Amino acid sequence: MAKTVYTEERVTLQDGKEITLRPLVIGRLKKAMAYVDDPVENGDTDSDGFDFLVSLSKICLEGQLEEDYDLEMSLDAITAKRIILVSTGIDFDDQNLAMAAAAAAAQSGQN
C-alpha cells in the first residue's frame, strides 16, 4: 500500500481553467532548474520578470495544458509564484533567497 508524501493543490487560472499542482518529477525538475540557472541559454531572449514567471510556469505545467494554450493571458503573478513554489519548492518571496541573489550579484560584479 503506497503512501503519498505530498499534498496536491488545485488552483484556478484567470480564465476559469483548473489545474492540479504537485511537486515535479526529477526529469522535469532538472529542466526547470536549468531554466532558472540560465533563462537565456534555455531559450528566453527577454529578461522581463513576468516573462520569466510565465516561462517557468509553463515548464511546471507541461502535460497539463494543451500545446496552444495561451498561459500568459490567463496567469497572474501570484498564481505563477504559487505554481512555481508547489512544483519546484522555489519561493521567490523568500527574503533569504533575495539576500543570497543580491550577494551573488555583488560578488560577480567584483570579479
The residues facing 22 across adjacent strands are: none
Structure-block grid coordinates of residue 12: 484556478
Mean of the pLDDT values across residues 58-86?
94
Residue 74's pLDDT band, with cuts at 50, 70 and 90, is very high
Is residue 70 within 8 Å of residue 57, measured between CB atoms? no
Residue 20's pLDDT band, with cuts at 50, 70 and 90, is very high
- What is the sign, positive or negative, of the torsion defined by CA atoms of 34, 50, 44, 18? positive
Q: What is the pTM of this model?
A: 0.81
Spell out the domain ranges in the chain.
9-110
